Amino acid sequence: MSEQPLLSLVVAVYNGEKFLSAFFDSITNQHIDNLEMILVNDGSTDNSAEILNRYASKFSNYRVIEQANQGVSAARNTGLAVATGQYLAFPDIDDVIYPGMYPRLLEIAIQNQLDVATCNGTYVYDDGRPSKKIFPSDKLTSTGVLAGTTWLQQALSSRKFLHVTWLNIYRHAFIKNQGFTFEHGLRHQDIPWTTEVLLTAKRVQYIDETYYDYLIHSASVSHTPGTDDTRIRNSQHYMKILEMLNDINQRYPQQVSLAPACRWQIAKEGLGILHSINNISDKQKRKMITQELFDRGIWKMIWNNARGLRQHWRLGRRYFRLKRYLTD
């Protein structure tokens, strides 16, 4: 195909046989003629490969890449490396994409020469709880074209901002010129990715229009009671995220001066680590991860980035508890 695709969908697939048919239907219903589909089968052990091959005839620009299982970030990077579209998107296969999402985002992106175009979505729970907007309309309203730092400060200040890639489309040349990739093996990689993208984006626009259902599975790892070992792993993932966020803040001091909530979010995510540590019942394991927190300089980083009396008070209360864990 000689014409450059308007949009490349880079899709990580791992054991997605239950979701792929509905996912492909949602993409067909976008009615985008000049679309590039890049499916990275990340070592699936179910029938995903067969289903992916079955849909090849349904799309004119369609590519399946097979690789050993390396995780969603590695799969996204594999797809990103070969994408050719003017814009990029990274949808998750187990969510619901409403008709018109990508045409609407492309409309504002092209009209306003955006680096990032983003919309709203809905949390949908499979345990019967009522759905709710991801970004409450009373906290975040539609914007005009903003600098990425302005939108990031506004979004973080709402205290309702969710760091995700799947509500956005990105101008490919912008992502390529910045050399952005996803961190392999890191859960919640969307946090540092979104932060750095928005700190460097010149033109961003948010529309409070709901086009995406984010499905929260009650049986998923993220939403079931953890064990001590999962809490330790989660804490270590978030320590890495804080180190990445701190490095980002140091790389872009001018932008961070305009978006000081970038420092607040380090302390906010740090409080989550302290909560996980507090829930570890095995004293030796709790002592080990607490020592790692101090040895890696994470505690100092959290404290130094805290904003305001409330965050410092919450951290101060936990400091003496952490020190006690080291002597238990």
Q: Does residue 221 have a pLDDT over 50?
A: no
pLDDT at 79: 98
- Say whether pLDDT at 218 is over 80: no
pTM of the predicted protein model: 0.93
Q: How many CA atoms lie within 13 A of 241 on its CB side?
A: 29
Strands 204-216 and 116-125 turn out to be parallel
Q: What is the pLDDT of residues 32-74, one digit of tens each?
A: 989 999 999 999 999 999 999 999 999 999 999 999 999 999 9
Please give the structure tokens belonging to residue 36.
Answer: 């590039």
Instruction: Assign domain 7-221 to its CATH superfamily.
Output: Spore Coat Polysaccharide Biosynthesis Protein SpsA; Chain A (3.90.550.10)
Closest CA to 263 of 305, 303, 308, 299: 305
Listed by start position, the domains of the chain span 7-221, 225-325
How large a percentage of the chain has pLDDT more than 90?
91
Using CA atoms, how far apart are residues 174 and 191, in angstroms rounded to an integer? 19
